[in-house]
Structures are given as structure tokens and as C-alpha cells.
Structure 1
């Protein structure tokens, strides 16, 4: 029996911390067998020449399709990292894949996206007894993820969709998705997957609604900007409510004092990315005039992480691996509290692999400060690589 810290059996993991894209590609390509690979996911650190990275992966893997995005950090077999190229190779024996590039995202045409996704799904033939899901990687600065994922949830008719928004190193300047041997801005990649493995989706955060409510009284929904909260300048009112000055507002303050919205009886985080010169708040998910929000109160982040990842299949088996999309603001809070080593240990133990995002998609909703994942389990018919 494999122990908790052994390598996963149904995905091949390759990593490189080389200082440039060319060397990184050589290192990860040497760690996988492209002939056995159906497709690969690449999660890129900040600072690489993206053209060199995309072209290098395309050439080195001999035509194996590679999808992915830029990130605000990677979750590797070692846990949290920030400067590592992570490549996940999904074997032909257990996966089938069909991809679609959605470009441009803004302006987003809902009828056009819906028609494209429907045609894409119809062309993807169903293998008997195999299970289906979808992954979505979108430009984290497009401000279109809310409409995109809700549209796809409707069109794909019950197909579970999981995803994360491409990110950068908290600069909030340029984020890219990878498709067709190129990195793209203002775009998204939709992947339809079939697998003979079993899978379970998961999504959780570590906040409960508090007693303090607030109302957005003036906003620009298209740009996700809030100018007024409770009739006062947004940054001033938010700072007052959380007990600090406007000058003290920072990603750490936003991470520890999130605002929640209620949707279908559940609460979801609407994270703030920064403060503008005019004291408006810039959000990472949808907002609107008249929206009622609640200040969240944090729970113990280690305990909620352990509980959220403690899943098993019908036979009581732990996942072979978990593909994870973890908000960068969670990582920021974890590092602020000096819990990075503990969280990395949990990720290693649970075989979590993925990246830090600017937003997460699950159950038709775009959210923030959440961990979203897909846990893959050996099926009764599955056999390791």
C-alpha cells in the first residue's frame, strides 16, 4: 500500500526552479514520457519569458497539448512555492480531453459563448462508463469570470466545472492563459475531460458571516469598483468598520477582513484587491449597486484546511491526488501568520497540486479566498501508471 507521501499514481508531476524558461522547459520535459501523455497542465511562475515558455513546451513535448496559466504561486509536491514551473502530465490510459479557447473575454457575448460551448460539448463524444468534468482557466484581470462561469454552468447542463483565474505576483497588471502554444490575455481556456477515475469536487473557505452588514451605495459593476459603502467613501467606511485607517489598508487587511455575499443560502467571499487614489475599492469578483454584504469573521485556517481536504471515496480510500485552485489571499494570510510550513505539510500529505489564483470557480459561481479542487480516486477498473 502506498503511504501518504508517495507520488500519485494517475498523474505525472514535473517541476523546475530554473531561472529562465528555456532551462525550466528542458528540466520538466525530461521528467515525463510524452508518448504516454494525453495532455498537460503548466502553471507558470512570475518572471519567465512567456513566449519562450509556450514555444519551448510545445516543441519539447512533441505536440502534446499543454494548457495552463500564469500564477501567483504554485502548489507542488513540496507545498507552496513561488518560483517553480509546475507541469502535470495526464496519461492517455485514464484521460481524454477537448479544449476551447474563449477569446476575447471582454466584451463578453453570452449568446456567442453559450453557442460555442454547446457545439464544443456536442462534438466531444462520450466514452461508455467514463466520468466527465470541465476545467476553466481565465484571465484573472478580465473581470468577466462571473458571467463566464454562470453561462457555462447553464450551457453544460449539469457537467461539473472547476477552475481558477490566472494570476501574477500580486501586481494585478498582466495575467495570461496558455492554449495552442501561446499565452493569451483577455481569454479563457475551457477543457472538457473524461476519465475512468472517480472524482469529487470540493470547495471551502474559513469565514463565517459576522454581525456587521454594509450596503454598496455607489459602484461601477463593469469595472468592479465600489465608490461608496453606506453612503460614505468606500475605503473610509470599510477601514472604519474593520478598525484601521485608510493608510493601513493592505492585501493583508483585506485577506483577514473579507466581505461576504449570500447566494443560494451560501456565503461567498468578494475580495478587495486594492484602494484607488479616490478611495474606491477594487474588487476581484462581481459587485453591484444595492448589494448587501456582511463582514466575515475568520475561523482557524489550519483546522478548516484539514477538514476540507479530509475526503474519501465510497471504499474509504483517500484521493490519489487533488487538483487545487487556492486563492492568493489565503496564501497571504497563511504567510502573515507564519503558517506556510504547516500548510505545505498538509498539501504534501494530501497530494494537492495546483496554483494560487486571483479567483476560483465552482458550482457556477466565481468567488475569492476559497480553496476549490477536484479529488481523483482510483476506480475499480483503474490501474496505476
Structure 2
């Protein structure tokens, strides 16, 4: 079995199932001859924010939503998109972020917007904007999580201890270099409540990534949502990479910058090229995606993806990286086959997946494009009702990761037993 990280959180007492709305039609489960959607999915490929917002609203309208979450490319005029979404959804909680590729009801897409809605019958949410990532502390996290849980207890949709029926979701500025500190603080405060999320992208321009909350977009910020549900769910994180023999020792870094200046006491880019049999002029985002590195912690391998090569032959990474660590060269074991296995196992455990909230690394997307896997991966994502985006980093509990397929699989609410 390839290295993976898995957290299983299943509700043991579930409210009656009433239905699932997806795309332009409903998958419905009858209860007392009534129908109501539990979750909804939507997407639009129009870059006109007026048209896109209307198409998203129309597809989600049948769901009596307590919240809407969206992911959009940076080609949209973001201020106008904000106004249109606010106009359509009114008082409904709406959060989101910019992306580096989207996963819509049609599958893998670029230059589009994807979204999902959670119904108020089966979900209750509390949302917070964290504006100053630089000063966010464990004390701030304790106060924030405590207050949000207290509010959720007043309107829980689940039976039993609320902590057993909750998960946290984070969307963070993907260029903030603060993900590790923020999610670690939140994870400590959440204790046994699982935390999952993704770092916003900007279509690989690496200039400006933004999150959306309270009717507008923000840079250098994060959105944290705590979700209480009567549905079964499973939080997961996997990668499809296997280790090779070659190693690199990080011998010099630029502190706090995610920049490695030297491997093995040599210029980082040159050593990276050496172990991969590459020329310096060949280095690109696609090449980094196809030639990943990982650090071993215990018996797990965690990917440390490279963002770019710099003029001084240093390498900028997507995750924090320190001097002294040893990186292992990794190789794909088959992205499509591994993802199919993961999704099939999730479906076996949950019965049905009515919504899969996915955070799929931009380097996985690069491999999909390079190997012409877009149609086959899109088919997998469609079959498992996935909505998501290609990220600059993925979060699971207190870890900030790269090159993973991470998310939350949500099962259909169960019918009441007679």
C-alpha cells in the first residue's frame, strides 16, 4: 500500500434522507412522499461574471442552502463577481477562493467556476475570516473555535456529541507562507475534530491568491468554516507517489522563505537536475510536477513540491522546508489507477458519495495534462460527484501538504428506521 493519511468520521445517528440535487437534476430519496435536496453542485465556463453567477445560482437554487462554497479562476473581474454572487445568494453564507484549475460537475476544467451548496436540513455551519495570518496564534484559535462550537450547539443538526459530527474546512491565501502556522493552531484547538482544506491559486501566475468571505475577496487571509452534519462523512488525504533511491540533503535555506539554496552543499537547482537527469533549461512547473521530492517522517512520506527555479539557482517550494532534512526522489505509481482505487474504497465505506469536496494539487493537474488523462480523470470525478479545485497546497489536520488528493466525502443522509 502506498503511503497515505486517512481519517474516518462517520455519524452513528443520522437524520432522514430527503435527497440530493446535482447539476440540473435531482437524485432524490423519498421520505414520507416529500423531496428536498441535501447537497447541490454547480459549475460555469462563462467568464462573464453576470452569466456565471446566474448559472451557479440556477443550479444550486433547488437546495435550501445554509452555505455555498465556490472556486474560481483569476480571469474573472473579482469585484464584479463578488457583487453578482452577493446579489443572488443574499443572506446565505458564501465563501470561496481563487484557483489554479477547477473541478466542476463536468470534471477537470480551467478558466471556470465551480461550487457546491449544503442544505440547512442536514448541515449547520459557522464561518470566520482570519484577516491577519501573520499574528494568528494558538490563543486566537482557542477563542475562535470555542465560540464557533458554542454557536453550532444551539442549532445542531446531528444527534449525540457535536464534536463527533463536525469537520473544519480551511481556504487560505496560497502565497501567504503562513499555512503551517494557521492550520497547526486551528488543529490544536479542534482536538479530535478533523480539519481539511486547500491553498488558493492564481492560475500559476504566483502573484496574487485570494479568499472570499463576507461578500468580498481578501489577500493575506484565510476562511475557516466549521461544519456540523447529520450525514456520514470521511476526511481523507492520499498521494500516488513511490520512493526511488536518490536522496538530497538540504544544506542551506533562506529562513522563512520556503527557498532552498543548496542541496548537498551545491546549488539546489543543479543538484536537482543531476539526480533527475535534467538540464537546467528544462526546469519548469511541469518538470517539477513529474519529478517530485518527499521527506520521510516516521513511516510516512510527505511530498515537498517545487514552485519555481530562481535566478540564483535556488528553488522555491510550496511548503515550509528546513536545513538538514533529507529529501527522496519520488516517482508516479499511476495517478488514474491510484485515484480510482481511493474513490472506490471511499464509496465502499460510505455506501454512496453524494458530494466529494476535493483539494487536488496543481502538480497532480500538471501530470493529468502531461499524460492526457483529463477525460479519464473527469469521468472518475463525475462518477463520484466531486467539486473542487487545483491548489497550491493541501491541508489535513495540522499538516500542510503537496501533491496530494485531499478532501471530504459526504454520504447521503440515511432514512429513519421504522
Band of TM-score, shorter chain: over 0.9
- Is 1:173 the equivalent of 2:207? yes
Q: Secondary structure at the match of 2:133?
A: coil
Where does 1:75-86 land on structure 2 (aligned, <5 Å)?
75-86=103-114
Please tell me whether the aligned partners of residues 80 and 340 of structure 1 are also in contact (alpha carbons under 8 angstroms).
Answer: yes
Shift of 1:120: 3.2
Q: Is 1:361 paired with 2:400?
A: no
Q: Deviations over 1:252-297 (max 9, x none)?
A: 1111111101234211111001011111100000101111111112
Matched, 1:231 2:265: yes
Change (3 A) 1:275 1:301: same
Look up the match of 1:29: 57
Q: Aligned ranges for residues 99-114 of structure 1 at < 5 Å?
A: 99-114=127-142
Give, in angstroms, the shift of residue 334 of structure 1: 1.0
* Separation in 2, partners of 1:227, 1:382: 60
RMSD of the alignment, in Å?
Answer: 2.3
Segment drifting more, 34-43 vs 351-360: 34-43
Partner residue in 1 for 2:311: 277
Q: For residues 73-106 of structure 1, what are the alpha-carbon distances to aligned partners after superposition, in whole Å with 9 as ceiling and x for unaligned?
A: 1111111011222221211111100001111113
Alignment of 1:73-222 (within 5 A): 73-125=101-153, 127=156, 128-129=158-159, 131-222=165-256
State the partner residue of 1:41. Answer: 69
Deviation, structure 1 residue 122: 3.9
Give the conservation status (yes or no) of the 8 Å contact 1:220–1:226. Answer: yes
Aligned partners of 1:311 and 1:319 also within 8 Å: no
Instruction: Report how many residues are paired.
Output: 382
What's the CA shift for 1:141?
A: 0.4
Question: Does the C-alpha gap of structure 1 residues 263 and 26 become closer, same or farther in structure 2, counting only changes over 3 Å?
Answer: same
SS in 2 for 1:106: helix
Q: 1:300 & 1:7 partners in 2: Cα distance?
A: 34
Q: Which range moved further: 315-324 or 166-175?
A: 315-324
- Distance in 2 separating the partners of 1:157 and 1:31: 36
- Quick one: distance in 2 between partners of 1:382 and 1:81? 38
Q: Deviations over 1:25-49 (max 9, x none)?
A: 1222233328811010011122111
Residues 295 and 86 (structure 1), Cα distance of their counterparts in 2 relative to 1, 3 Å cut: same
| Cα distance change of structure 1 residues 65 and 156 upon mapping to structure 2, 3 Å threshold | same
**Is 2:374 the partner of 1:340?**
yes
Q: After superposition, give the CA deviation of every residue in 1:206-238 in whole Å (9 maximum; x if it has no partner).
A: 112221121111112411011011100111111
For normalisation by structure 2, the TM-score amounts to 0.86
> Conserved in 2, the CA contact under 8 Å of 1:196 and 1:381?
no
Name which of structure 1's ranges 115-124 and 57-66 shifts more when overlaid on structure 2: 115-124
CA distance in 2, matches of 1:250, 1:25: 34
The verdict on how the C-alpha distance between 1:119 and 1:93 changes in structure 2, with shifts beyond 3 A counting, is closer
What 5-or-longer segments of structure 1 have no aligned partner? none
Question: What is the CA-CA distance between 1:315 and the residue it aligns to?
Answer: 7.1
- TM-score, normalised via structure 1 length: 0.93
Q: Does structure 1 retain, via aligned residues, the 8 Å contact 2:198–2:392? A: yes
Contact 2:152 2:228 (C-alpha < 8 Å) held by counterparts? no
Whole-Å separation in 2 of the counterparts to 1:37 and 1:273: 37
Check conservation: 2:305, 2:319, Cα contact below 8 A: yes
Provide the C-alpha distance between the structure 2 equivalents of 1:198 and 1:211, rounded to a whole number of angstroms: 41
3-state SS of paired residue (2:345): coil
